[in-house]
Structure 1
């Protein structure tokens, strides 16, 4: 399988279609069926106590699978999440970026299924694991 979008094209797509969150994320690595996406942690991503909030990590996982899917199928803004599940496994390091290591497990005509492990920058053990399914619009 080959990529249909580069990291630069994905970033430009996010800036154009989702300007409200585009600056929160950075693509660290892109390969067929895989992406490493970084949440650039800011004050707005923290919960009381200074750790990264669950909704921020869920957003990272959702965005990672979305971008991995678009990288493979091309820019289709109407691909949407149809299912999502997340397990929070340990407390993230205070104020550190979160890196999502995402791989697509299945990419079909109408569904994409992916898995994401999330790590606090500098930590070896994952802080969360997510599974998402995306619906791909008809072409």
Structure 2
């Protein structure tokens, strides 16, 4: 099953309502990769005017889920098992772009990375590695 960007956007907003509240946009996805955008929002800034760490981590988490969904036709119930973020530089006070890539998709554990950058800049502001575990029913 091939999903449109609008259908994937709807899946994201249903599955992660916080992403909808923050205005996270799915820009594109295919073959285990996804690009998302977190618009600039004053309520997501920390003192000093940079985008907060929790907002960046949330964006990265949703971006990896979209990358996984791109491999499964929109049917993925795996859960974040680990997310490690390295902040490389303060993000500019503008939209943030997340580029996610699944490195390994396994039956029980998947692994990927996400690069975050301020919109309009090439240099990343953060690098994320993350693993996801297949959801077990009844647990």
Q: Which residue of 2 aligns with 1:66?
A: 65
Per the alignment, in what secondary structure is the counterpart of residue 71 of structure 1? Answer: helix
Structure 1: 5+ residue stretches without partners: none
Q: Which residue of 2 aligns with 1:54?
A: 53
Contact 2:112–2:129, Cα closer than 8 Å, also in 1: yes
Q: Which residue of 1 aligns with 2:77?
A: 78
1:124 to 122, 125, 133: 122
Query: What displacement does 1:43 show?
Result: 1.3
- Please identify runs of 4+ aligned residues in structure 1 that moved more than 4 A: none
TM-score between the two structures when normalised by the length of structure 1: 0.87
Per the alignment, in what secondary structure is the counterpart of residue 69 of structure 2? Answer: helix
Aligned-residue Cα RMSD (Å) equals 1.9
Compare 67-76 and 117-126 and name the one that shifted more.
67-76
Contact 1:41–1:98, Cα closer than 8 Å, also in 2: yes
Q: Which residue of 1 aligns with 2:96?
A: 98
Per the alignment, in what secondary structure is the counterpart of residue 41 of structure 1? Answer: coil
Q: Which residue of 1 aligns with 2:109?
A: 111
CA distance in 1, matches of 2:19, 2:75: 18
Compare 16-25 and 29-38 and name the one that shifted more.
16-25
Q: Which residue of 2 aligns with 1:18?
A: 16
- Judged with a 3 Å threshold, the aligned counterparts in structure 2 of structure 1 residues 127 and 92 are, in CA distance, closer, same or farther, namely same
Compare 98-107 and 77-86 and name the one that shifted more.
77-86
Contact 2:97–2:118, Cα closer than 8 Å, also in 1: yes
Contact 2:29–2:66, Cα closer than 8 Å, also in 1: no
Query: What displacement does 1:9 show?
Result: 1.9
TM-score between the two structures when normalised by the length of structure 2: 0.87
CA distance in 2, matches of 1:130, 1:20: 20
Contact 1:85–1:130, Cα closer than 8 Å, also in 2: yes
Q: How many residues align?
A: 136
